[in-house]
Chain A
Amino acid sequence: MNKPFRYKVNIFLFLLPALLLFVGVLIAPIIMSTVYSFTEWNGFTTPEFIGFKNYVELFTSRSINIQRALKNAFLLAILSCCIQLPFALWLALRLSRPIKGKTAFLSIFFLPVLISTVVIGQLWLKIYNPDYGVLNVFLRSIGLDNLTRIWLGDKKTALGAAFVPILWQYVGYHMLLMYAGIKGVPVELTEAAMLDGCTQAQVSRYIIIPYIRPILRVSVIFAITGSLKSFDLIYVLTNGGPNHATEVPSTLMISMLFLRNRYGMGSTIAVMLIILCFAFALLINMLFKEEK
């Protein structure tokens, strides 16, 4: 056997376990979901091929109302990009400067990422409780009784109330990513700028932020795809209610799969989510490339 060929066989053999894992865990389920999305299947009987009927029903059915779920997910994505990421960047910039107790601050801001989402959900359920929740108790104590609400039970406030813990939980995650990026900025660059008379804000604006653009791109991709896939906290806090006001595509998918036994429709929502996440990841990459 000639050497280059043996080399390729070795490479293939070493890559094979990872390839099998990748295909088994990621590609095969996507293919299976795509196949099921073209069927009417209640999970028990034989799936019946129905073509694109599930896709048509998904976007036309009033009772499924995927438009509302998508609108909520996009709103969360916008809030993540406009509030969560700028706040995380601000924290990362502040903490990258020499300040007292930096490690403690980093740990505190990162702590919510480490705590189980169910625990966070329970914590915020208590905060929002209309009777004894900290929020309403505080409002009453300062005489703002008229501002007290049934935060998670009122259609007008439930969505916002459910989004706050989601945004809060992942600020630390993005902050740490950006902090690591900022620490990679060569000190000579920032020092030279300071010597030339730049303010701290100018250094951040013209040197640090452009330098960590690849990190920012990753953060934006994570924030947007994470918003589209958001599930756990919504499930714990409202389970999509009241009256589907906080429904997101993932909660709708779970409802179709496990409450309504509509495995075909649940798979259709899963496929739609996969396509959306890929599309947004590509779009964000393109946008960042253009700017470059």
Chain B
Amino acid sequence: MKKRLALLMALVMMFSLCCFSAPAAFADDEVTLTLWSIATESDSSHQAFVDGIAAFEAEHPGVKIEHVTTENEAYKTKIKAAMSSGEGLPDIFFTWGMGFLGEFVNAGRVYCVDDDYANYADELPEAMTVNVRYDGKMYGVPYTMSLVTLYANMDLLAQVGYDDIPATYEDMIDCCEALKAAGIIPFGVSGKELWCLSEYVEPLVIKSVGGQALRDMYNGEASWNNEGVVKAIEAFEGMVENEYFDPSAAALGNDEVKNNFIAGKYAFYQNGSWNNKDIGEQAQFNVKAGTFPVLDDSIPLYSMIGGPNNTLAVTESSQNKELAVEAAFFLAKFMSDADYKSGANLPCWAADPDAEVNDLIQAAADMASKAEDMVLFGDNFLSADAANTYLDYIGLAYAGDVTPTEYVEGLDADLG
């Protein structure tokens, strides 16, 4: 009896082993790629990612893309920790260009896609790849570009007699005074999130010193101690002192500020063009997208802060590099088109000229086409340490803790 029972148990065990191993045998034919991104369900690009993945899977039977999303700030920590250890890295990951991706490239964690780019060069202009090139080699596939955009509530501006965004700096100041007198807060900004302050400071700086000078400062090839930078910081601190910004700004996060603008609390909101979709769809007033006027008349109006920065890259550790690279290019192209058509952001890839897009994205596209110079956001351009020091100084300027001269001298001393 005992022998029979033992035999029965052995058969049961063998059967269960077969049951569990059978799907694994079938699974050998299926390849799963892992993709990490910040496109959580509330992100304006989420649906485009979902559709892009479905389209790639449909074109590549037996290939599955597992999309793991993490909220923006948490994502930065997650990807840095994974890159640091080199363990558990995905095949494809979302990244920003320049300094952020640069540290991963220097660590040898990112696969060079330079050779593969030749197949897509007709559709992805080389100018769009400048922020993902290190020593001339391309390490990521950009899909959308962003510009700092000045959103204006035209209904509020109309109340103080303006039917367009002020074209000169003096006009802008007059407009702000008129708004203040009418009890309207001119600008919404989050003082809690320093990068939001940089969306005001950087346009002032580029429109005072020009794109090349700003790029040289970021690259450490020119001193920050420049008359134009001092003038820009004076203008910024003047805007704070004159209470052109929401007095509650220091306690508000960017989402709260954006919602306040959408709710009609501010006349202007200056932030990245990735807000086009939310503002365009939710604002119940006449909204216009434009750019801040120049501080120095010799600088072209369309000297813009921004550029191609949303990127997909492939890890060096991927077991399916060829497939991952193909998926990265496919998804980047798909995302570029989908985000443009949905109004989420500007495309890096050749766009469909007949596509019907909303007014805000059209305005952003017009600005991009007129742009005479474009410099990436400072906190993307610089390495992590330098970027945070740089943002600290912007925070100090906002709080009035440094004079414009101390600001430029401090940046020279701390950024080298």
> Which residues does A use to contact B, with CB under 8 Å?
42-45, 63, 128-131, 150-155, 239, 241-244, 255, 258-263
Contacts and interface: CB of A to CB of B under 8 A. Distances in A.
Contacts of A239: 192
Nearest to A255: B388
Which of A150, A243, A244, A255 gathers the greatest number of chain B CB atoms within 10 Å? A243
Contact of B250 (A45, A63, A154): A154
B83 A242 contact: no
A192 B401 CA distance: 63
B84 to A, nearest CB: 4
Contacts of B103: 42, 44, 261
A43 B399 contact: no
B109 A129 contact: no
Interface string B104-143: 1011010000000000000000000000000000000000
Interface in B247-291: 247-252
Contact of A260 (B247, B385, B398): B385
Nearest to A258: B77
Contact of A242 (B77, B84, B192, B389): B192
22 contacts: A44-B83, A44-B104, A45-B106, A63-B389, A130-B251, A131-B248, A150-B248, A150-B250, A151-B251, A152-B250, A153-B248, A153-B249, A155-B399, A241-B395, A242-B192, A242-B395, A243-B392, A243-B395, A243-B401, A258-B80, A261-B383, A262-B385
Contacts of A155: 399
Given A153-B250, A153-B251, A262-B385, A44 B399 contact: no
B228 interface: no
Contacts of A243: 392, 395-396, 398-399, 401
Given A153-B250, A261-B103, 19 more contacts: A42-B103, A43-B80, A44-B84, A44-B103, A63-B392, A130-B251, A150-B248, A150-B251, A153-B192, A153-B249, A153-B251, A239-B192, A241-B192, A242-B399, A243-B396, A255-B388, A258-B80, A259-B384, A261-B383
B251 A128 contact: yes
A44 B106 contact: yes
Interface of B: 76-77, 80-81, 83-84, 103-104, 106-107, 109, 191-192, 247-252, 383-385, 388-389, 392, 395-396, 398-399, 401, 414
B399 A258 contact: no
Contacts of A154: 250
Which of B251, B252, B384, B392 gathers the greatest number of chain A CB atoms within 10 Å? B251
Contacts of B414: 63
Contacts of B249: 153
Contacts of A255: 388
Given A44-B103, A243-B396, A243-B401, A261 B248 contact: no
Given A128-B251, A129-B251, A130-B248, A258 B392 contact: no
Nearest to B76: A258
Chain A, interface SS category: loop
A259 B250 contact: no
Contact of A261 (B385, B392, B399): B385
B410 to A, nearest CB: 8
A211 B250 CA distance: 48
A151 B252 CA distance: 11
Contacts of B401: 243
A122 to B, nearest CB: 12
Contacts of A128: 251
Contacts of A262: 385
A20 B80 CA distance: 29
A43 B83 CA distance: 8
B63 to A, nearest CB: 30
Contacts of B106: 44-45
A180 to B, nearest CB: 39
Nearest to B386: A260
A50 B385 CA distance: 18
A244 B395 CA distance: 9
Contacts of A131: 248
A196 B401 CA distance: 63
Contact of A45 (B80, B107, B384): B107
Nearest to B397: A243
Contacts of B247: 130, 150
Nearest to A263: B84
A44 B385 contact: no
Contacts of B395: 241-243
Contacts of B191: 153, 242
A151 B248 CA distance: 10
B250 A44 contact: no
A145 to B, nearest CB: 13
Given A63-B414, A260-B388, A43 B251 contact: no
Contacts of B399: 155, 242-243
B89 to A, nearest CB: 12
A44 B109 contact: yes
B252 to A, nearest CB: 8
A255 B389 CA distance: 11
A270 B388 CA distance: 20
A259 B414 CA distance: 17
Contacts of B398: 243
A234 to B, nearest CB: 14
A201 to B, nearest CB: 43
B241 to A, nearest CB: 16
A260 B192 CA distance: 18
A239 to B, nearest CB: 8
Contacts of A263: 84
B55 to A, nearest CB: 34
A255 B392 CA distance: 12
